[in-house]
């Protein structure tokens, strides 16, 4: 009975008179402790279905599954019954239609289908629509295997040849990663230098705990091993280097002559991206295994040959020519000279990706072609010039580890097709899709891979093309790439539940990020889906995001969100629920959110706080780890109290619950919770700026309570 509201405890005792009996579980509470534990496990390793392609701020499947179950089950459900249902494959949503008006990464669609519901998903972004479409569609396994093998024998082998090298003993090998530095000429002494933060290529700890370093000599280019990262003598040229000290720090280049310059200023003077130099290769040799070396003359000549081949044939190659858009808050990567998307890739990457894309476009079966395109698109995130080498993990980091185009000082060039090693190669992306669709894989990349049918908990279905077809049981999902402010294709009172994750006002512009994938996907998909992929970029005028550059003010965003919620009200049954997630630690954001809810004819009846994204998820407004799951019903009922007493009690109750559940609770979380409870109990205070000091006082009270509870728990543990 822990972590549930008193009404659930009364109901579980079999009370004959229960005022909550007509409600759903989510209206009165959920077993937060148990859900938090489940969410933490998923946060440490997402389900494969959600790892087949990047989408930003994707909510955890565990959280949305919990919200769906809470919306389907009665208020007298016990915690044990809830968890039993969560862990089972009961189709408790059967006969229900669930709408997600901001489809995003497709979490609502995937989880609702699993519970037996029919799903309607809408998103204005074509990339979101395409990813979600392939998440829920079935795969033709035998045809997929056949087409992949054809690709492997043709373009796969051709791409692998572009990444061929020799190991330090002269054996034939394949490049896993090629590492690059930028080059610059000092304006004072005219000396040309490679730009580097340090000389450490790899920092690896053995099973015995001993640390071995792979280092790079700036004088002769030698790559050598050492057990120290301090001052070293290169075994080849005998020059001393300080392994930890490079010539760049915080975007500033310092020449040996003592002069300093900002890298962005050198880029501006250069009129484009700085020149790059390959300084190390990590290879995989069938005889010697993995190793590092300095690029040989033949490696450098091979790359020059690839550059010439690209220049000769670039007019016939498939790659994007569109320009990169900047935002008001982030002008990268344009400040680093990257004005066009193709500049975010080197010539070997562009040639490889073009060959691969052309090969995929020859696949005749549309569904199979789209799955291969999904793998292609997913691999773009780890095959571009914004990827850096993680020296402690022996792999590259993906471009959108943070939601921004973030140029790195040390570039890691991946092997586009992929071999036994390497993160995010096309082969790895292909295998991820098969695993997500419930196909087990056995064997390494160089062996004949066996495909083992396994039981998938997810349901895959063909897409309905209209609401009528969805109702006629021809399919269980209807996905629309459209503006949710006008759901004209849905009749009044046609859905049972709306579960969604709306934009958080100023977090980031989805279209600007998704354009990275869109400009490649539009090449093969513009003829298939001209309405969705026929424009130069994915940016749409109706996108709901704060952006002064496009004239989207807070007032514009609130009005747009109100129109979406109003449409949700229209298409939702009278006894239905609107459930959405939100977090923010600024008063103006919660004020805007509440205005949208009230204006659209809803009342907040409950707020529940659950772990939001994965542990590496990005949160602009502080380190917010918990979403407010806001439960609304039709009708507007303005709370009568104008003081903070109700919000104070509820905020402190939630602090106690979440500290007890674990997973940490940052100051920004506490402030977001306080704002959420004010929106529920005392919304008039959101627009009363004179009360802001009282709000800050309440936040500080809750932070002090959190600290005391943590301290008490620590004392108990130690004793």
pLDDT at residue 1, as a whole number: 37
Per-residue confidence (pLDDT) for residue 2, from 0 to 100: 43
pLDDT, position 617: 44
Residue 582 CA to residue 626 CA, distance in Å, equals 9
The token pair at 256 is: 């040996």
Full DSSP string of 614-634: -TT---SSS---EEEEEEEEE
Question: Which pLDDT score, from 0 to 100, does residue 111 have?
Answer: 97
Dihedral over Cα of 28, 34, 36, 42: its sign: negative
Q: Taking the CA of residue 136 as centre, how many other CA atoms within 13 Å lie in the half-sphere pointing to its CB? A: 31
Q: Which residues are registered as beta bridge partners of 610?
A: 627
Residue 513: count of CB within 10 angstroms of its CB? 22
Is the omega angle on the peptide bond into residue 664 within 30 degrees of 0, that is, cis? Answer: no
Give kind and range of the element (H or E) at residue 563.
helix 554-571
- For the chain, the maximum distance between any two Cα atoms, rounded to a whole number of angstroms, is 89
Strands 260-262 and 276-285 turn out to be: unpaired
- And the tokens for 624? 């917010």
> 430-446, pLDDT tens digit by residue?
999 999 999 888 887 77
Query: Mean pLDDT of residues grouped by 10 in the chain (719 residues)?
Result: 40 42 89 86 80 92 96 95 94 96 96 97 98 97 96 97 97 98 91 92 82 93 90 93 91 91 92 94 96 97 98 97 80 87 97 98 98 98 96 91 88 96 96 93 78 86 94 91 96 98 81 96 98 94 74 84 97 97 88 94 95 54 80 84 82 93 85 93 80 85 94 64
pLDDT at 450: 84
Q: Enter the tokens of residue 433.
A: 């899709």
pLDDT tens string 344-361: 999 999 999 999 999 999
Domains of the chain as residue ranges with CATH: 6-137+460-637 (3.40.50.150), 141-197+246-453 (no CATH), 643-719 (no CATH)
Q: Is the dihedral of CA 684, 688, 691, 697 positive or negative?
A: positive
Q: What is the pLDDT of residue 619?
A: 42
């Amino acid at each position: 009975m822990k972590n549930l509201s008193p009404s659930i405890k009364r109901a579980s005792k079999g009370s004959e008179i229960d005022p909550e009996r007509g409600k759903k579980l989510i209206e009165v509470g959920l077993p937060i402790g148990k859900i938090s534990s489940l969410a933490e496990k998923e946060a440490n390793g997402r389900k494969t279905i959600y790892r087949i392609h990047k989408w930003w701020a994707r909510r955890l499947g565990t959280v949305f599954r919990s919200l769906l179950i809470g919306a389907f089950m009665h208020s007298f459900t016990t915690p044990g019954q809830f968890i039993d249902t969560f862990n089972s494959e009961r189709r408790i949503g059967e006969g229900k239609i669930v709408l997600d008006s901001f489809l995003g990464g497709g979490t609502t669609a995937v989880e609702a289908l699993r519970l037996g519901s029919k799903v309607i998903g809408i998103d204005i972004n074509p990339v979101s629509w395409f990813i979600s479409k392939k998440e829920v569609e079935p795969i033709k396994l035998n045809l997929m295997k056949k087409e992949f093998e054809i690709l492997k024998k043709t373009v796969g082998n051709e791409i692998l040849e572009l990444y061929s090298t020799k190991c330090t003993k002269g054996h034939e090998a394949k490049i896993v990663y090629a590492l690059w530095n930028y080059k610059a000429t000092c304006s004072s002494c005219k000396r040309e230098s490679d730009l580097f933060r340090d000389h450490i290529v790899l920092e690896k700890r053995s099973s015995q705990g001993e640390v071995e370093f792979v280092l790079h000599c700036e004088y002769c280019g030698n790559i050598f091993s050492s057990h120290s990262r301090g001052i070293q003598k290169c075994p080849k040229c005998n020059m001393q280097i300080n392994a930890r000290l490079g010539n760049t720090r915080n975007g500033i280049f310092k020449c040996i002559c003592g002069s300093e310059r900002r890298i962005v200023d050198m880029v501006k003077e250069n009129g484009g991206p700085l020149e790059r130099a390959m300084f190390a290769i990590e290879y995989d040799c069938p005889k010697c295994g993995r190793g590092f070396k300095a690029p040989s003359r033949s490696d450098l000549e091979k790359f020059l040959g690839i550059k010439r081949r690209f220049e000769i044939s670039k007019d016939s190659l498939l790659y994007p020519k569109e320009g990169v858009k900047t935002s008001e808050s982030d002008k990268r990567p344009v400040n680093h000279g990257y004005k066009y998307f193709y500049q975010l890739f080197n010539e070997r990457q562009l040639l490889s990706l073009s060959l691969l894309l052309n090969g995929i476009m020859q696949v005749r079966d549309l569904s199979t072609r789209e799955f291969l395109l999904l793998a292609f698109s997913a691999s773009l995130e780890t095959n571009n010039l914004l990827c850096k080498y993680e020296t402690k993990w022996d792999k590259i980091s993906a471009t959108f580890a943070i939601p921004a185009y973030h140029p790195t000082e040390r570039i890691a060039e991946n092997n586009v097709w992929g071999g036994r090693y390497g993160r995010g190669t096309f082969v790895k992306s292909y295998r991820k899709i098969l695993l997500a669709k419930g196909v087990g894989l056995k064997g390494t990349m160089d062996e004949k891979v066996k495909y083992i049918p396994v039981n998938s908990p997810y349901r895959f279905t063909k897409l309905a093309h209209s609401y009528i077809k969805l109702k006629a049981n021809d399919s269980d999902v209807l996905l629309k790439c459209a503006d949710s402010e006008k759901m004209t294709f849905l009749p009044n009172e046609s859905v049972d539940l709306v579960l969604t994750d709306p934009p958080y006002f100023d977090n980031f512009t989805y279209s600007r990020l998704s354009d990275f994938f869109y400009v490649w996907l539009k090449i093969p998909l513009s003829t298939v889906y001209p309405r969705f992929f026929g424009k130069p970029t994915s940016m749409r005028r109706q996108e709901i995001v704060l952006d002064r550059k496009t004239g989207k003010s807070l007032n514009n965003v609130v009005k747009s969100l109100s129109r979406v919620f109003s449409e949700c009200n229209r298409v939702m049954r009278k006894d239905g629920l609107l459930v959405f997630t939100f977090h923010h630690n600024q008063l103006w954001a919660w004020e805007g959110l509440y205005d949208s809810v009230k204006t659209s004819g809803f009342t907040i009846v409950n707020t529940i706080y659950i772990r939001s994204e994965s542990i590496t998820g990005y949160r602009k407004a502080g380190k917010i780890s918990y979403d407010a799951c806001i439960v609304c019903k039709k009708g507007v009922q303005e709370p009568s109290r104008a003081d903070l007493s109700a919000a104070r009690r509820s905020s402190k109750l939630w602090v106690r619950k979440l500290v007890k559940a674990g997973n940490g609770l940052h100051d920004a979380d506490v402030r977001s919770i306080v704002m959420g409870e004010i929106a529920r109990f005392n919304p008039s205070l959101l627009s009363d700026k004179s009360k802001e000091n009282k709000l800050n006082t309440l936040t500080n009270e809750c932070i002090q309570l959190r600290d005391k509870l943590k301290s008490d728990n620590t004392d108990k543990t130690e004793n």
